[in-house]
Amino acid sequence: MKKEKVLNLLKRKNVKPSVQRMEILNYIVENKNHPSVDEIYSHLNKKIATLSKTTIYNTLKILCKKNILTEILIEEDEVRFDYMEKPHIHFKCKSCNKIYDVFKKCPLINCKKIEGHKIEEYHIYLIGTCKNCYKDD
Amino acid sequence: MKKEKVLNLLKRKNVKPSVQRMEILNYIVENKNHPSVDEIYSHLNKKIATLSKTTIYNTLKILCKKNILTEILIEEDEVRFDYMEKPHIHFKCKSCNKIYDVFKKCPLINCKKIEGHKIEEYHIYLIGTCKNCYKDD
DNA sequence: TTTTAATTTGTAATTATTACAAAATTGAAA
DNA sequence: TTTCAATTTTGTAATAATTACAAATTAAAA
């Protein structure tokens, strides 16, 4: 994603841009496999030597609150993050541990209510073996 | 669930029964709102004064491995557990924090493969406001 | 009973995340 | 440009769920 696009996205959602915020958001948007906080840190640390993990946590929290990102709770021990342009499904491969985006439609996502409960968020997580790992058997 | 049913369930799935294992499994099966480890501990501690949290963690791990329970990753900071007789959806209320089971059918649950990936587990989490909290507005 | 194996327990270690306050940076006003 | 206030970033320390591990207990087998 172009620098300008990230900048505009932040502005549009009322998040004051900064070098750190732009880099963090950009890395998540670019990297499709939903990097962990550690991965984000390791990668960006090369560019921004003074970067702190606390900044990453702070930024991610803001970006979620402003609905730019969504938390993915597919891993047991850490949170992942998702830039969701359109609603989609997540598939985690048990073997290689990658998290794929799947854009198959699910009628559930159009429901506003279910058994009387008002739905505000949809999280669909599938777990199994991805096509790359599967063929190695 | 009757004592004997829990016992048979454990035996059938090749888990050696014990007082602790039966009580833990029974509590999860009986309590429909998916108690946390802390809640399980607090409740069963009254019955089994010597109970240790480590035993609960050990037992839950075994029960998951033997496919008697499934992990629910709907909470950000702790794991919940589910006794899944038939596949269903989970709905978490943001307001009262209860986790409901919803038995509406979703065609996704019949898919064995998606975009070439082999599916082994289905986790569908909806988040919003439940019907009890909603009407208080 | 004696012995062996499995389970339970308590403590200490691990690890992701948060709280907090100092340092650095930004942006506007003078 | 300089000054000053507000915001952001950073590092350290605290928190809390989970796990590792070994001793104690219990159950099963001989």
Q: Where are the domains of chain B?
A: 3-82, 89-134
What token pair was written down for B11?
């035996």
Query: What class, spelled out in words, does domain A89-134 have in CATH?
Result: alpha beta
Q: In the predicted model, is pLDDT for residue B137 greater than 70? A: no
| Residues contacting residue B112 through CB under 8 Å, at least 6 positions apart | B118, B119
Structure token pair of residue B35: 């108690």
Chain D: bases < 7 Å from a protein Cβ: 7-12, 16-21, 27
3-state SS class at A118:
strand
B101: closest chain A residue by CA: A115
Distance of alpha carbon B2 from the chain centroid = 18
The answer to whether B128 faces chain A, any CB pair under 8 Å, is yes
pLDDT at B2: 86
| C-alpha–C-alpha distance, residues B122 and A19, integer Å | 39
DSSP one-letter code for B107: G
| Amino acid sitting at position A88 | H
Q: What is the DSSP string of B27-92?
A: HHHH-TT---HHHHHHHHHTT-TT--HHHHHHHHHHHHHTTS-EEE--SSSS-EEE--SS--EEEE
Residue A45's contacts (CB-CB under 8 Å, 6 or more residues apart) are A51
Q: Is A96 on the interface with B (CB under 8 A)?
A: no
CA nearest neighbour of A77 among B53, B77, B90, B72: B77
Say if CB B81 and CB B60 are below 8 A apart: yes
Cβ contact, residue pair A115, B126, below 8 Å: no
Q: Which nucleotides of C are covered by protein (CB under 7 A)?
A: 6-11, 15-20, 26
Contact A35, A27 (CB under 8 A): yes
B7: left (phi over 0), alpha (psi -120 to 50) or beta: alpha
Q: Which residues contact B14 (CB under 8 A, 6 or more apart)?
A: B66
Asked whether the predicted pLDDT for residue B44 surpasses 90, the reply is yes
Per-residue pLDDT of chain A (137 residues; tens, 9 = 90+): 888 999 999 999 999 999 999 999 999 999 989 999 999 999 999 999 999 999 999 999 999 999 999 999 999 999 999 998 888 999 999 989 899 999 998 889 889 999 999 999 999 999 999 999 987 55
Do B119 and B111 contact (CB within 8 A), yes or no?
yes
**CATH number of the domain located at residue range(s) B3-82 in this protein:** 1.10.10.10
